[in-house]
């Protein structure tokens, strides 16, 4: 015999999206496995939402925790902050590289989602301090593959950016060196400084 109760559980938006799933498939699974009635209270633009659970609260929270864990989300019904747990799993990225990571019109993120299959949320978190490191949060189906793809893409962008910045410094140095060599050659050929 199950114990019926009522509980409202506050969740950040990304966990609400994971809990709902594609076309409501995940929330239907939770209802089927737990036998609870669940109502989601969340507007798409809001950073936080809630779910209202009527039924066996303990069983429902265990099912939700299993679902989240299977999709790469850290959440505990004991009241510890889901955000604090999630921060450990976020992938750091320098703020100045966010545009390159997102891609034109979001193309890079769209490509990463398509390559990992299933429903995956790849979101950019705000920096803790202005101009500080940002974080990429990956949750959903195939989250392990998605995180590996995100890490690889960030490494590729960092390497490419480092080579470009070194290349521009090196080409600037090379240009100065060749200009200096040209001046010194002209000086020795003409016996004096050259006016350019």
Tens-digit pLDDT profile for residues 140-187:
877 888 889 999 999 988 888 877 766 654 444 444 443 343 333 333
More confident residue, 83 or 139: 139
pLDDT of amino acid 113: 86
pLDDT at 94 over 60: yes
pLDDT of residue 51: 93
Hunting for tokens 């019109």 — which residue is that? 105
Instruction: Concatenate the DSSP letters of all residues of 1-64 into one string.
Output: -PPPEEEEEEEEHHHHHHHH-GGGHHHHHHHHHH--EEEEE--TT-SEEEEEEEE-HHHHHHHH
pTM given for the model: 0.56
């Amino acid at each position: 015999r199950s114990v019926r109760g009522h509980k409202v559980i506050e969740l950040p938006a990304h966990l609400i999206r994971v809990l709902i799933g594609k076309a409501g498939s995940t929330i239907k699974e939770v209802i089927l496995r737990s036998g609870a009635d669940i109502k989601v209270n969340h507007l798409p633009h809001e950073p936080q939402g809630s779910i209202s659970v009527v039924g066996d609260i303990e069983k429902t929270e265990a099912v939700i925790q299993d679902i989240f864990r299977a999709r790469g989300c850290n959440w505990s019904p004991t009241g510890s902050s889901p955000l604090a747990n999630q921060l450990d799993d976020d992938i750091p990225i320098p703020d100045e590289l966010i545009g390159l990571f997102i891609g034109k019109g979001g193309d890079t993120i769209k490509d990463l989602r398509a390559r990992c299959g299933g429903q995956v949320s790849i979101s950019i978190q705000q920096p803790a301090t202005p101009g500080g490191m940002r974080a990429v949060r990956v949750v959903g189906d195939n989250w392990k593959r998605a995180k590996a793809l995100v890490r690889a893409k960030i490494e590729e962008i960092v390497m490419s950016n480092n080579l470009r910045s070194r290349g521009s410094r090196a080409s600037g140095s090379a240009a100065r060196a060749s200009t200096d060599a040209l001046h010194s050659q002209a000086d020795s050929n003409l016996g004096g400084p050259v006016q350019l």
